[in-house]
Amino acid sequence: MTRSTTELVATAEDRRIARYAAAAIVLTVAETAIPSPLPGVKPGLANIVTLVVLARHGWVDAAWVTLLRVVASSLLLGQFLAPGFFLSLAGAVASLAALALVARLPARWFGPVGMSVIAAFAHVAGQMSLARVWLVPHDGMFLLTPVFATAALVFGAVNGLAAARLLADDDSGDKALERARRNLEAASRGA
Partner 1 sequence: MIDWLRFIRPGDWAVLAGAAMLVSASWSLITSAGPAQKALVRANGRLVAELPLTAKRVVEVAGPLGVTRIEVDAGRARVASDPGPRQYCVKQGWLTIPDAMAICAPNQVSLTLVGRSSRYDTVNY
User: Considering the rule CB under 8 A, would residue 18 count as an interface residue with partner 1?
Assistant: no
User: Considering the rule CB under 8 A, would residue 40 count as an interface residue with partner 1?
Assistant: no
Dihedral class, residue 169 (left if φ above 0, else alpha if ψ from -120 to 50, else beta): alpha
User: Considering the rule CB under 8 A, would residue 150 count as an interface residue with partner 1?
Assistant: yes
Q: How many residues bind partner 1 (CB under 8 A)?
A: 26
In the bound state with partner 1, the residue whose beta carbon lies nearer, of 74 and 116, is 116
Contact 152, 47 (CB under 8 A): no
User: Considering the rule CB under 8 A, would residue 109 count as an interface residue with partner 1?
Assistant: yes
Q: Which helix (H) or strand (E) holds 149?
A: helix 145-190
Residue 71: Cβ-neighbour burial (10 angstroms; 0-12, 13-18, 19+): middle
Cα atoms found within 13 Å of the Cα of residue 84, Cβ hemisphere only? 14
User: Considering the rule CB under 8 A, would residue 136 count as an interface residue with partner 1?
Assistant: no
One of 118, 128, 130, 131 touching partner 1 (CB under 8 A):
118
Segment contacting partner 1 (CB under 8 A): 51-59, 72-80, 86-94, 115-123?
Answer: 115-123
- Taking alpha carbons only, the member of 57, 81, 61 closest to residue 71 is 81
One of 128, 152, 155, 159 touching partner 1 (CB under 8 A):
152
CA distance 71 to 55: 22
Q: Which residues bind partner 1 (CB under 8 A)?
A: 105-106, 108-114, 117-118, 121, 143, 145-146, 149-150, 152-153, 156-157, 160-161, 164-165, 168
